[in-house]
Amino acid sequence: MSGADSAQDPAGPSALAAEAKESIDRLCAVVPDFPSPGIMFRDLTPVFADGLSFRSVVDALAEPYAGTFDAVAGVEARGFLLAAAVAYATGTGVVTVRKAGKLPRPVFRESYDLEYGQAALEIHRSDLPPGARVLVLDDVLATGGTLGAACTLLEKAGAVVVGCGVVLELGDLGGRRTLAGRPVRALETV
């Protein structure tokens, strides 16, 4: 499937989603053999650097969840850019989901498996009131480990995850299956 999840957009992609997809297709840089041989890295920074394209991405990520969230959580690091922009555009709060050891006050922590080891994400214990409705954003959905851990972490903190949004989904890696039962909006799938 390409573009937005059809379960989110029963009538097909919206005009905002189509505009964002066009920008992603036009501006995303594909870098062969980075960070290691055989990997085709998709660099979204040119999409973010173009003002009109960044605006279309922000608007398209927020669109299917309009009015359903109180805060936007961004996963370190490029998710911070998206979450801050969506929060500003919608007049909601923003929460940073950080890698372990970066936050100064008491935290909730969630560990998750990587291909070769483990990692952990954290949020401050006092950043969200219980029952806060949260939209979770990141740049890329690959295996779903990081985004799944972020959702679990937010729920551990007492939040209600209303959905997840990503700019780009790497469909062959099965991340959507890891997030089964959660609404996921991907603006482009490769």
Over the chain, what is the mean pLDDT? 92
pTM: 0.92
| Phi, psi (rounded to 5 degrees) for 189 | -125, 130
Is 27 domain-assigned? yes
Q: What total number of domains does the chain contain?
A: 1
Sign of CA dihedral 92, 96, 53, 61: negative
Domain that holds residue 136: 15-189
Is 147 domain-assigned? yes
Is 91 domain-assigned? yes
Is 32 domain-assigned? yes
pLDDT at 2 over 80: no
CA distance 190 to 98: 27
Is 2 domain-assigned? no
Is 3 domain-assigned? no
Contacts of 89 (CB under 8 A, 6+ apart): 58, 59, 62
Task: Give the N- to C-terminal CA distance of the chain in Å, as an integer.
Answer: 8
Q: SS3 letters for 85-138? A: HHHHHHCCEEEEEEECCCCCCCEEEEEEEECCEEEEEEEECCCCCCCCEEEEEE
Catalytic center residues: 78, 115
pLDDT at 150 over 50: yes
21 in Cβ contact with 189 (< 8 Å): no
126 in Cβ contact with 93 (< 8 Å): no
Is 9 domain-assigned? no
- CATH number of the domain enclosing 115: 3.40.50.2020
Mean pLDDT of 100-108: 96
Is 41 domain-assigned? yes
